Amino acid sequence: MIHSLFLINHSGDIFLEKHWKSVIGRSVCDYFFEAKEKAAEPEDVPPVLQTPHHYLISIYRDRLFFLSVIQTEAPPLFVIEFLHRVVETFQDYFGECSETVIKDNVVTVYELLEEMLDNGFPLATESNILKEMIRPPTILRTMVNTLTGTSNFEERLPSGQLSTIPWRRSGVKYTNNEAYFDVIEEIDAIVDKSGTTVCAEIQGVIEACVKLTGMPDLTLSFMNPRLLDDVSFHPCVRFKRWEAERVLSFIPPDGNFTLMSYHVNAQNLVAIPVYVKQNISFFESGSGGRLDLTAGPKQTMGKTVEGLVITVHMPKAVLSASLTATQGSYTYDPATKVLVWDIGRLNPQKLPNLRGSLSLQAGAPKPEDNPSINIALKIQQLAISGLKVNRLDMYGEKYKPFKGVKYVTKAGKFQRPACVAISHFST
């Protein structure tokens, strides 16, 4: 299926290549560069491209292009999903996925890619199995390795691939047995200029960090599972028990993983926790404009709004902004025309305000549309949908684990790192 992989940085240099079948020359990427030239933004490059002999499927993440070459018919989503899995594995191993990190760990990267695909077909994509074979680098181990000349390879042969529970390695041991679940919800909404919600949805994920000895079999139940409109699971969750009893029954992978992601029925009214009053106008003369933004809490159920960041995509003609913020700090990037106002914690007594003037390119016509505004925020200890975990039971092991559940609400589209959210569309 997947023939080759090229990693390409923002400026268009190929800095890593890997072939799973015979070698394909770099020149195949020229077709991709051509498409990249045409696109205004790197995001605009079509993910699926065609060349005379090959097909190119690429993803763009963390300012890097992952470009895979395939030769015959293959489901494009299959390839895309795999590439994203590669990125996630890198993030898991190295903490981030950037050109420098990949170059620094090129051997580990190569070993990972070698294990993840065999002849272009995915072999081991579960992080638990990969970690059994190739240890992630840590500062300590790197030091020890250089000093003693030992490797970051497991001496022991991995067994995870052999079991029918491929996501869990065997022989896990902890002194403190812990299981933590974070219920993270994101509101995704389009609000028009008058403040009316055009559409709003709640997306949630349950991120788990499970450190339990042996082969625990967990059952997680909710107080109000009916809230969940649409769900998708980590492969460890048993579909049939969910269908029959609405409980999550699973043998967890070891460590961090996303247990499920869900969607809360859109019919339930979504209360948007903050509001933003905006007033952005440009002078008729075309020489400048004025901006006035105020943010305030709306329905936060008594919790504090944190990490509030407001992003405004300015019209192209805006050259610079000279503003004063009563709280937080702002930056304006004249290249991307994005104004970011980082407010931080929202104080309901003293509403933060940002005002000042905008200067426009000389001679440019007056920009006509009100720019769209995105809001990112975070509320601790609150799942805005009201979803509550009822209990967590463990079978199969004798000890008593420590259990914890945390709720966080965020604003943002699902794409992480989340900062795209409540879009104010002007009307």
Partner 1 sequence: MLNMSTNASYNDQGGAEAAVEVCTEGTSTTSGTGAEGCVCLKEMLESNKESLKLEAMKRIIGLIAKGKNASELFPAVVKNVANKNIELKKLVYVYLVRYAEEQQDLALLSISTFQRALKDPNQLIRASALRVLSSIRVPIIVPIMMLAIKESASDMSPYVRKTSAHAIQKLYSLDPEQREHLIEVIEKLLKDKSTLVAGSVVMAFEEVCPDRIDLIHKNYRKLCNLLVDVEEWGQVVIISMLTRYARTQFTSPWQEGVSFDENNEKAFYDSDSEEKRDETETKPYMMDPDHRLLLRNTKPLLQSRNTAVVMAVAQLYWHLAPTHEVSAVTKSLVRLLRSHREVQYVVLQNIATMSIQRKGMFEPYMKSFYVRSTDPTHIKTLKLEILTNLANEANISTILREFQTYVKSQDKAFAAATIQAIGRCATNISEVTDTCLNGLVLLLSNRDETVVAESVVVIKKLLQTQPTQHSEIIKHMAKLFDKITVAMARASILWLIGEYCERVPKIAPDVLRKMAKSFTSEEDIVKLQIVNLAAKLYLTNSKQTKLLTQYILNLGKYDQNYDIRDRTRFIRQLIVPNEKSGALSKYARRILLAPKPAPLLQSAFKDRDRYQLGTLSHSLNLKASGYQELSDWPAVAPDQSVRNVEVIEPVNEWVPTVGKSKPAKSAKSEDKFYSDSEGEQVDRKGSKNSSSSSNDSSSSSSSSSSSSSSEAVSEPLALTPGPEAGFMTSHPSSLQVTVQPFGPVKSHELLHHMSGKGLSARYHFPRQPFLYQPSMVQLQITLTNASDQPLEGIHLGEHSPASLTLHRFSPVERLEPQASVTVSMGIDFNDSTQAANFQLCTKEAEFSVSIQPAVGELLLPASLTQADFEKEQGKLLGMNETSATITMAEGHCSSAVLNKQVRSMANLGEVITGHNNTHRFAGRTVSSGALVLVTVEKREAADATITVNTDKSVMASMLLRDLKQALASA
User: Interface residues for partner 1 in 16-45 (CB under 8 A)?
Assistant: 16-19, 21-23, 26, 39-41, 43-44
Footprint on residues 205-234 left by partner 1 (CB under 8 A): 215, 217, 229-234
Sheet holding 274-282, edge to edge: 274-282, 288-297, 353-360, 318-325
Between the two ends of the chain, the Cα-to-Cα distance in Å is: 46
174, 212 Cβ separation under 8 angstroms? yes
Helix (H, G, I), strand (E, B) or coil at 79: helix
Q: Identify the residue among 10, 144, 153, 336 touching partner 1 (CB under 8 A).
A: 153
330, 337 Cβ separation under 8 angstroms? no
Q: Please say which residue, 135 or 303, places its beta carbon nearer to partner 1.
A: 135
Q: Please say which residue, 122 or 344, places its beta carbon nearer to partner 1.
A: 122
Q: Please say which residue, 186 or 379, places its beta carbon nearer to partner 1.
A: 186
Footprint on residues 311-350 left by partner 1 (CB under 8 A): 313, 315-316
Q: If binding is defined by CB under 8 A, does position 151 make contact with partner 1?
A: yes
Least Å distance between CB 34 and partner 1? Answer: 16
Token pair, residue 189, equals: 């909404």
Q: Identify the residue among 9, 62, 71, 213 touching partner 1 (CB under 8 A).
A: 71
Token pair, residue 17, equals: 């290549």
Least Å distance between CB 1 and partner 1? Answer: 8
Sheet holding 389-395, edge to edge: 247-250, 217-222, 389-395
Helix (H, G, I), strand (E, B) or coil at 274: strand
Least Å distance between CB 49 and partner 1? Answer: 8
Least Å distance between CB 210 and partner 1? Answer: 16
String of contacts with partner 1 for each residue 377-406, x by CB under 8 A: -------------------x----------
Q: Identify the residue among 91, 256, 258, 353 touching partner 1 (CB under 8 A).
A: 258
Token pair, residue 337, equals: 């025309």
Footprint on residues 155-184 left by partner 1 (CB under 8 A): 155, 157-158, 161-166
18, 110 Cβ separation under 8 angstroms? yes
Q: If binding is defined by CB under 8 A, does position 139 make contact with partner 1?
A: no
Least Å distance between CB 197 and partner 1? Answer: 11
In terms of Cα–Cα distance, which of 334, 178, 358 is closest to 280? Answer: 358
412, 186 Cβ separation under 8 angstroms? yes
Q: Identify the residue among 28, 32, 58, 206 touching partner 1 (CB under 8 A).
A: 58
Backbone φ, ψ for residue 342 (5° rounding): -95, 105
Q: Please say which residue, 331 or 427, places its beta carbon nearer to partner 1.
A: 427
Q: Please say which residue, 95 or 235, places its beta carbon nearer to partner 1.
A: 235
Q: If binding is defined by CB under 8 A, does position 144 make contact with partner 1?
A: no
Render the burial of 414-424: b for 16+ CB within 10 Å, e for the rest. Answer: eeeebbbbbbb
Least Å distance between CB 383 and partner 1? Answer: 17
Token pair, residue 135, equals: 């240890």
Reported as type and span, the H/E element at residue 148 is helix 139-148
Q: Please say which residue, 186 or 297, places its beta carbon nearer to partner 1.
A: 186
